Amino acid sequence: MEEVLKIDQVAKQFGRQTVLNDVNITLHRGDIYGLIGRNGAGKTTILKSIIKLIQPTKGTITLFGVTKGSNYIHQLRRTGSIIESPVAVDQLTARQNLIYYSKIHGVVDSNAVDDTLKFVGLDTTGKKKFKDFSLGMKQKMGLAIALLNKPDFLILDEPINGLDPIAIVEFRELLLKLNRTQQMTILISSHILDELYQLATRFGILNNGTIVKEITKQEFEEQSREFIKLEVDNPDLATNVLRKIGCSNFKVINDHRINIYQLDIANAKIASSLIENQVQLSTITREGLNLEQYFKQLIDGMGGEQDV
């Protein structure tokens, strides 16, 4: 699978502040990589470094196999990005903006403007100027400009901030369609972790400029899958009872706790069977983590605060 991006030991210092610390991220074609981190963790700095708005203090960034010089700038033409807020010309309509940006970006496909407008759903905004667009329309405009040159790699910094729930779903559908139909690679940062979860195939958690955890969606699902937590006085006796009622997928965590990963037996049945067999049961609850809880637990464990 083609390597689209390799960030290798990248560090960035702003004055005395270390903002990025030996960051490593590799993306292959078709990946959707979600970058997660608290305010100020360094997400935007990573994204800006890729498109050369910022020069790292140390390390290398390789884009489509190219690390340096004019060739790198050439490869940047294969990327589209929205970093910080979407930028377009206030006094122009959606169509006029796309015509303007297609000239700037040297887009030669004569259908690109209309195709892109239609794709993002801005083909019916008529004479309305960008300055009068709603936030959702502005975000779509940003996406349209980023997509004009049919990029292979899309870099999105908080693209769904401030969107209403319907616009968020529409935005997600657009990105998934690009990924499925064109194998577009996407690097996206977001604070809306439930949404990021539905989009990304892999997550990188950034804390104080360091990637503290990388996890695929599959690994996350395995680690965070739902289970039944039991607290009992006698785990040996309890496991015998569990086996008798057909429950074999469980793990004894310690001398009073058992996790059951088999969810087809009702809690009431487990509870009554344990009690009937003289096991003292103090807790029986369903547990499982979503991405936000996982992130918070990880960062809390490092002495951070809960501020996604």
Residues in contact with ligand ATP by CB under 6 A are 14, 19, 37, 39-45
Least Å distance, CB 230 to ligand ATP, is 39
Question: Which residues are within 8 A (CB) of 228 and not within 5 positions of it... i.e. 6 or more apart?
Answer: 259, 260, 263, 267, 270, 284, 285, 286, 287
Measured from the CB atom, the residue of 56 and 121 that comes closer to ligand ATP is 56
Least Å distance, CB 36 to ligand ATP, is 9
The secondary structure of residue 208, as a DSSP letter, is T
Least Å distance, CB 161 to ligand ATP, is 9
Measured from the CB atom, the residue of 55 and 70 that comes closer to ligand ATP is 55
Measured from the CB atom, the residue of 39 and 111 that comes closer to ligand ATP is 39
Question: Which residues are within 8 A (CB) of 48 and not within 5 positions of it... i.e. 6 or more apart?
Answer: 54, 83
Measured from the CB atom, the residue of 42 and 235 that comes closer to ligand ATP is 42
Measured from the CB atom, the residue of 189 and 273 that comes closer to ligand ATP is 189
Least Å distance, CB 34 to ligand ATP, is 13
Q: Which two tokens stand for residue 289?
A: 């983590």
Measured from the CB atom, the residue of 41 and 258 that comes closer to ligand ATP is 41
Least Å distance, CB 262 to ligand ATP, is 40
- Identify any residues that bridge with 154 across adjacent strands, giving them in sequence order: 80, 186
Amino acid at 169: V
Nearest to 100 by CA among 109, 110, 89, 87: 89
Measured from the CB atom, the residue of 37 and 235 that comes closer to ligand ATP is 37
CA 214 from centroid of its chain's CA atoms: 11
User: Order of strands, edge to edge, in the sheet holding 3-14?
Assistant: 17-28, 3-14, 58-63
Question: CA angle, 92 as apex, 91 and 97 as ends, to 5°?
Answer: 140
Cα first-last separation, the chain: 33
Q: Which two tokens stand for residue 51?
A: 């498109």
Q: How far is Cα 296 from Cα 305, in angstroms, rounded to an integer?
A: 8
Least Å distance, CB 199 to ligand ATP, is 17
Position of tokens 């804390």?
207
Least Å distance, CB 44 to ligand ATP, is 3
Strand 185-189 to 153-157 pairing: parallel
Nearest to 192 by CA among 221, 163, 155, 216: 163
Least Å distance, CB 155 to ligand ATP, is 13
Measured from the CB atom, the residue of 151 and 204 that comes closer to ligand ATP is 204
